[in-house]
Amino acid sequence: MFLNYSIPFLRPGLSFIPPAHENDLVMACQGAINSLRCGFNKQKKHRSMARNFNFSAGPAMLPTAVIDRAREEMLDWNGSGMSVMEMSHRGKEFVSIAEKAEADLREILAIPDNYKVLFLQGGASSQFAMVPLNLLKDKKNADYLNTGMWSKKAIAEAKRFCDVNLAGDTSEGNFTTVPSQNTLNLNPEAAYAHYTPNETIGGVEFGYIPETGDVPLVADMSSTILSRPIDVSKFGVIYAGAQKNIGPSGLTIVIIREDLIGHPADGIPTMFNYATHSDSGSMYNTPPTYNWYIAGLVFEWIKEQGGLPALAEINRRKATKLYTAIDNSGFYSNPVAENARSWMNIPFTLSDSSLDAAFLSGAAEQGLLTLKGHRSVGGMRASIYNAMPEEGVDILISYMQEFEKKHG
Ligand SMILES: Cc1ncc(COP(=O)(O)O)c(C=O)c1O
């Protein structure tokens, strides 16, 4: 029966309805105390619960501080009495969240004023189509650099809309290198040139930004955005699925130079037209509000870490440690050319693949999760985005060394 009573000190603002009988009052108080205890216990359990090191390629780890803050704000954002999940995207509360997130991202990446930032849905995969649908204008050709599984997918989609010139192609070397600038076969008449600065599956990353002259450069930055400073002015379009360095899956960020907006292909669906989203502040329809909010918390966290220069330093150090451990062992190997090695996704194989399952289960016992390589390549892959603490990499290296001692 006490369940019917409100618990005044748990729910401020609600008036206490006195119970009809003394016994009920005792029960109500006991219930309230139990609820409080239960709340504290739960909180304590949550606080002391170990966070595992999750090496997933995406959705990937988020900074614990961000999740903790989201938890604190879950029921009541900033005294609004609402969860962000419940807010109208047009209400002043959410609009302030959205604007701050965009302002912070602009600050972090030093995005010039003549670029729009769009907060979209549809994943990076939708951009494989949106890019040709919006950038071809009256042209029929686009340049693509083929450096791995993700550029292959982008190319396959673009071929539905235009002739693709492979301006660079590393498939012969099994995608373990990046083409150097002087080998690129760029078409100065192309509508745009597309590349994938970091191939998430192969662990191959460009150490330079291709120079394409007047042809707008388009980058699928899904797995490298925010890992270091970049010069946005060198790009026509940057797009990225959020689920690696930005926030939860379901949000896609597009950073696009203004002059590239407003030239859609005939008959383009409204939602595939960049102008639709640019003209409406990404609120033509209901945007992924909660994901946008979490992305905003991640941007705040990045600023607190000292911005991208500070993160770049940590990311370089984490990656160097892991590659050094791999290269110094006779047991693990990474096939990628040294100048093309990713800071974010580090694939490696064991000298005896029959030990893969034992390696993975031993790792999981130590709280080192999701190290299995992509199903298309096998072996292992450690994705070490911004939110992976350096300690996680150190523990992984110790585990690898122990495992090698035992089985190598
Ligand atoms: C480089 C790259 N491009 C595109 C995608 C596809 O992204 P989405 O799943 O958001 O469509 C991924 C996903 O992991 C990726 O790593």
Sign of CA dihedral 282, 288, 290, 291: negative
Q: Which of 125, 175, 196, 226 to probe ligand 1 with, by most ligand atoms within 8 A of CB? A: 125
pLDDT at residue number 39: 34
How many A from CA of 401 to the centre of ligand 1? Answer: 32
CA-58 nearest atom, ligand 1: 14
CATH number for 226? 3.40.640.10
Instruction: Check whether residue 300 and residue 312 sit in a common domain.
Output: no
Q: Is the CB of 222 under 6 A from ligand 1?
A: yes
- Amino acid in position 119: F
Instruction: Check whether residue 119 and residue 229 sit in a common domain.
Output: yes
Q: Report if residue 143 sits inside a domain.
A: yes
How would you write the pLDDT of the chain (408 residues) with one tens digit per residue? 223 323 333 333 333 334 444 444 444 444 443 333 333 333 333 444 579 999 999 999 999 999 999 999 999 999 999 999 999 999 999 999 999 999 999 999 999 999 999 999 999 999 999 999 999 999 999 999 999 999 999 999 999 999 999 999 999 999 999 999 999 999 999 999 999 999 999 999 999 999 999 999 999 999 999 999 999 999 999 999 999 999 999 999 999 999 999 999 999 999 999 999 999 999 999 999 999 999 999 999 999 999 999 999 999 999 999 999 999 999 999 999 999 999 999 999 999 999 999 999 999 999 999 999 998 888 999 999 999 999 999 999 999 999 999 998
Give the end of a domain, one of 304, 324, 341.
304
How many A from CA of 407 to the centre of ligand 1? Answer: 35
Q: Which of 145, 150, 201 to probe ligand 1 with, by most ligand atoms within 8 A of CB? A: 150
Q: Is the CB of 197 under 6 A from ligand 1?
A: no
Instruction: Check whether residue 246 and residue 358 sit in a common domain.
Output: no
Instruction: Check whether residue 105 and residue 231 sit in a common domain.
Output: yes
Sign of CA dihedral 117, 119, 125, 130: negative
Q: Cis bond leading into 59, ω under 30°?
A: yes
How many A from CA of 125 to the centre of ligand 1? Answer: 6
Q: Is the CB of 150 under 6 A from ligand 1?
A: yes
pLDDT at residue number 16: 35
Residue with CA at minimum distance from ligand 1 atom 10: 123
Q: Report if residue 192 sits inside a domain.
A: yes
**Residue 234's closest CA among 249, 254, 250, 212?**
212
CA-57 nearest atom, ligand 1: 14
How many A from CA of 200 to the centre of ligand 1? Answer: 8
pLDDT at residue number 120: 98
Which residues span the domain enclosing 317?
A: 308-407
Distance CA 251, CA 295 (A): 9
Q: Report if residue 402 sits inside a domain.
A: yes
CA-243 nearest atom, ligand 1: 10
Q: Helical H runs in 328-389?
A: 356-365
| Cβ atoms of 291 and 89 closer than 8 Å | no
Which residue's structure tokens are 């110094």? 328
Q: Is the CB of 223 under 6 A from ligand 1?
A: yes
Q: Report if residue 50 sits inside a domain.
A: no
For the chain, counts of helices (H) and of strands (E): 10, 14
How many A from CA of 384 to the centre of ligand 1? Answer: 16
Distance CA 403, CA 15 (A): 61
Instruction: Check whether residue 281 and residue 315 sit in a common domain.
Output: no
CA distances to 162, 325, 349, 356, 398 from 392, in Å: 44, 14, 19, 20, 10
pLDDT at residue number 50: 76
Q: Report if residue 10 sits inside a domain.
A: yes
Give the end of a domain, one of 280, 304, 328.
304
Distance CA 244, CA 336 (A): 21
CA-252 nearest atom, ligand 1: 10
Instruction: Check whether residue 263 and residue 364 sit in a common domain.
Output: no
Q: Report if residue 111 sits inside a domain.
A: yes
Q: Report how many domains make up the chain.
A: 3
How many A from CA of 331 to the centre of ligand 1? Answer: 30
pLDDT at residue number 45: 39
Instruction: Check whether residue 312 and residue 341 sit in a common domain.
Output: yes
pLDDT at residue number 49: 59
Q: Is the CB of 58 under 6 A from ligand 1?
A: yes
Instruction: Check whether residue 136 and residue 246 sit in a common domain.
Output: yes
How many A from CA of 247 to the centre of ligand 1? Answer: 13
Give the end of a domain, one of 267, 283, 304.
304
Instruction: Check whether residue 263 and residue 167 sit in a common domain.
Output: yes
- List, by residue number, the catalytic residues: 150, 220, 244
Instruction: Check whether residue 78 and residue 152 sit in a common domain.
Output: yes
Distance CA 124, CA 120 (A): 10
Residue with CA at minimum distance from ligand 1 atom 14: 58
Q: Which of 200, 206, 381 to probe ligand 1 with, by most ligand atoms within 8 A of CB? A: 200
Q: Report if residue 52 sits inside a domain.
A: no
Instruction: Check whether residue 332 and residue 255 sit in a common domain.
Output: no
Residue with CA at minimum distance from ligand 1 atom 7: 124
CATH number for 351? 3.90.1150.10
pLDDT at residue number 377: 83
Q: What is the dihedral of CA 324, 325, 330, 331, to 10 degrees?
A: -140
Q: Is the CB of 383 under 6 A from ligand 1?
A: no
Q: Is the CB of 227 under 6 A from ligand 1?
A: no
Distance CA 310, CA 228 (A): 8
Q: Report if residue 61 sits inside a domain.
A: no
Instruction: Check whether residue 243 and residue 168 sit in a common domain.
Output: yes
